[in-house]
Structure formats: C-alpha cells, structure tokens
Amino acid sequence: MDLESFFKDNGYCPNKYSKDIGEIQTFASTHYAQKNKIVLVTSGGTAIPLESQAVRYIENFSSGHRGAASAEYFLSEGYGVIFLYRQGSLRPYSRHFKAGNVLDLLTISKDCRNGTCSNVQVDATKMPDLATIVQAYHTSKDAGRLLEVSYHSLVDYIALLKASSEAMHLLGSSAVFYLAAAVSDFYIPLTHMQKHKIQSSSGPLELALHQVPKFLRALVTKWSPQAFVVTFKLETDEAILMDKALGALTKYGHQLVIANILHERRYRVVVVTKEEQKELLLSDDEQKEKKDIEQKLIRDICIRHTHYNKGTEV
C-alpha cells in the first residue's frame, strides 16, 4: 500500500497541521541560511483509534524520555532541533519536573506587603540543578534553536514526519533524522471501524489490524535522500535484536540503527551500522548519579554525523 492510500484510509485531512508545517518550513530555511545543522527528533508513542469517534486506542508504550533527553544533548552540541512529540509525553528540559510535582518547588512569599501575599517564589533547594535547566531552556529558545510540534495519532505522526523531511531536504547532509518515536506497525482502516464507542454488552471483542506501510523507504529515497538517518529497534527478546537491526539497515539503506532491549534501555544501547556494533553503557556509578545514556549516545552520533557531512561535501 502507498502512503497516499494510507492517508485516505485514515481519513487524514491535509490542512490539519498547516500552521505547524509552516513553522517547520520557516525553521528549516532559517537554519539553512545560517548554515546550521538541524535534527528532527521524534518522540513518544502513537495512538491508533479503534472507533471513528474514538474512545479506545492501541498505543505503543513510550514516556518520551529517550527523545526529550536526546533533544537536550543535540541542543548542547549546537544543533537546531525540531522536536516532534506525542501530546502529553515528556519534553526537553521540562522532563526534569516529571518525577515530582512542580508545585512542591513553588512557595508563597511570607514577606507580604499591602496585606496581600501574592508573590510566588521558587524553593531551589528542592531541585539543585534547576537554574542550569532554566538557563539551558531559555538559551535554546531565545536562539531560535528549538521548535516543538505535537501530534496524537499514527497518521498525524506520519504526515508531520513527511512534511518535516520534505522541508529539511534543502539542508542535504547537514540534516539528521533521529526517529525515537514508538510507531505502531498496525492500524484499523476508517471504513472497517465502528462509528460509535464499542459496547461491552456485545460480548468479547475481535479486532483485525492492518499493517502500516513502511514509510522509512520514502524518507531515505525521496523526502530527504542526503540526510543522516538514525532509527531505533526496541525488542524484548535479545535473541532477535541484532538480526532485526541489521535487517532494517539492509532494507532501508540508512545510516544507523540504535538497538535496545525494553528493560535495559535506560543504561544500555547498541549503535549498529553495516560494519560495526558498538555497545554504549552506563556504569553502576553513572546509573547511581542518574546520568543519561543519551549523553553518550548523542556524542557518538554527532561525531558520526560530522564525518558523514564532510564526506558527502567532498
């Protein structure tokens, strides 16, 4: 199945994201004019509706931690970042608040004037790295190096990915795609869906899901053919992981697959090319210090991208 049929099959309205797509195009052409490198980071899960007025969805699990952390490290490496994320999933910098409640950091000033105590203050002792995070966020935003765009469903994700990669085409090999979103392999065509909420009184539920077309080939060969493309392979079974990663490189002809096992993903990843498999690990001490494996991963990818970018310029 081709992508146009897939968009139609999902009832996608072409104008839905025209404002966001305009911003992505402006972002790409501004950074092109400034001779900057840019990366599209995709992050979070994708929802596939089970009803046309949907109450239920099939979801691929993702908190968005990988993508949000990675975006920060790309920004600190000097990249312009388009952050395409699932609504409600973690975002760069604000992800650091997620574990607790941001309200625990805020207090009302006891130093009241005119009888009103309306002065909200930050209790920075509760989050010692807060100033660094706030500073890094504003530096990226003020420099125009971070554009955040959100999606909800699978078809929205693919439409925004297509529009982004077409907009990034002009950056050639200076563009990186870092596709960390957890994308569904299956969907239900609109014509096969119930219109209204599926009723439990109708008894057990049988679902027949169709396969999503493989859009990565279109990205690599048509939408942004010179870009440096990084994809992810998440499995639960170590036995098939490397075969799946190498299989993807052969099938799509892109540059890197980051292979990882669900339960190890926060401290171990393998950077896979056709020639080598390089394991990146957090030591026990690094895990205790809550270091991000993404810091090592993005450093590794940026070095590879610099070589790639120079190579294709010759």
Q: Give, in order, the Cα–Cα distances in Å from 310 to each of 148, 234, 314.
A: 28, 30, 7
Backbone angles phi, psi at 82, to 5 degrees: -95, 115
For residues 34 and 185, which CB has a smaller minimum distance to a second copy in the complex?
185
Does position 1 interact with a second copy (CB under 8 A)? The reply is: no
Which DSSP string do the residues of 109-131 spell out, in sequence order? Answer: -S--BTTB---EEE-GGG-TTHH
Backbone angles phi, psi at 49, to 5 degrees: -70, 145
Amino acid code (one letter) for 105: L
Q: Is 279 exposed, middle or buried (0-12, 13-18, 19+ CB in 10 A)?
A: exposed
Nearest approach in angstroms of CB 223 to a second copy is 21
- DSSP 8-state secondary structure symbol assigned to residue 81: E
Query: Binding string to a second copy for residues 209 to 248, with x set by CB under 8 A, is what?
Result: xxxx---------------------xxxx-----------
Q: How many residues belong to the chain?
A: 314
Does position 54 interact with a second copy (CB under 8 A)? The reply is: yes
Nearest approach in angstroms of CB 145 to a second copy is 15
Query: Binding string to a second copy for residues 165 to 194, with x set by CB under 8 A, is what?
Result: -----------------x-xxx--------
Nearest to 174 by CA among 221, 228, 129, 223: 228
Does position 207 interact with a second copy (CB under 8 A)? The reply is: yes
Distance CA(169)–CA(221), nearest Å, equals 11
Distance CA(231)–CA(177), nearest Å, equals 8
Nearest approach in angstroms of CB 274 to a second copy is 20
Does position 34 interact with a second copy (CB under 8 A)? The reply is: no
Q: Which of the residues 258 through 297 are near a second copy (CB under 8 A)?
A: 262-263
Does position 13 interact with a second copy (CB under 8 A)? The reply is: no
For residues 119 and 306, which CB has a smaller minimum distance to a second copy in the complex?
119
Distance CA(311)–CA(260), nearest Å, equals 28
Distance CA(61)–CA(39), nearest Å, equals 23
Residue from 35, 113, 191, 208 in contact with a second copy (CB under 8 A)? 208
Q: Which of the residues 117 through 136 are near a second copy (CB under 8 A)?
A: 117-122, 124, 130-131, 133-135
Does position 203 interact with a second copy (CB under 8 A)? The reply is: yes
Q: Which residues bind a second copy (CB under 8 A)?
A: 47, 50-51, 53-61, 63, 88, 91, 93-94, 97, 101-103, 106-108, 117-122, 124, 130-131, 133-135, 137-138, 182, 184-186, 195-198, 200, 203-212, 234-237, 262-263
